[in-house]
Amino acid sequence: MKKILIVDDEPNIVISLEFLMKKEGFEVAVAADGDEALSRAAAFSPDLILLDVMMPKKSGFEVCEALRADPAQAALKIVMLTAKGRDTEVARGLAIGADAYVTKPFSTKDLVVRVKELLGLA
């Protein structure tokens, strides 16, 4: 079973994503800020992380950079989630190693398709 870590400081988004991913058959863990994201990633060893950009403690960009610097997390797929669809943010996210970028509000159907593609399940 593939594992997904959901990192977002908005409870409504976490609840809906958690429900959606569990319904698709994934094992799910959640984190509410950047620091928790890194400790959860180390403990849970997810296959993919849904990572919000704007968060307390560490931004999604900082979390992404830290994960990409960790050889143990080399195979981890990172999908950045953000309310900002600005091209500069997308470019920055991809430049620091994100595998995909999804702008809020997103279509849950499209997100599931993207996750499955990244995990080789599509």
Domain boundaries, the chain: 3-118
Which residues, 6 or more positions from 65, have their beta carbon under 8 angstroms from its beta carbon? 96, 97
Buried b (16+ CB within 10 A) or exposed e, 65-92: eebeeeeebeebbbbbbbeeeeeebbeb
Q: What is the pLDDT along the chain (122 residues), one digit of tens a residue?
A: 999 999 999 999 999 999 999 999 999 999 999 999 999 999 999 999 999 999 989 999 999 999 999 999 989 999 999 876 667 877 888 889 999 998 888 888 999 999 999 999 97
Laid out side by side, the sheet with 3-7 consists of 27-31, 3-7, 48-52, 77-82, 100-103
Size of the chain, expressed as the number of residues it contains: 122
Residue type, position 64, single letter: C
What's the pTM value of the predicted model, to 2 decimals? Answer: 0.93
Kindly give the residue spans of alpha helices, DSSP state H, lying in the chain.
11-23, 34-44, 60-68, 87-95, 108-118
pLDDT value for 39: 96
Cα–Cα nearest to 46, from 17, 67, 15, 32: 67
Topology of the domain comprising 3-118: Rossmann fold (3.40.50)
pLDDT value for 122: 76
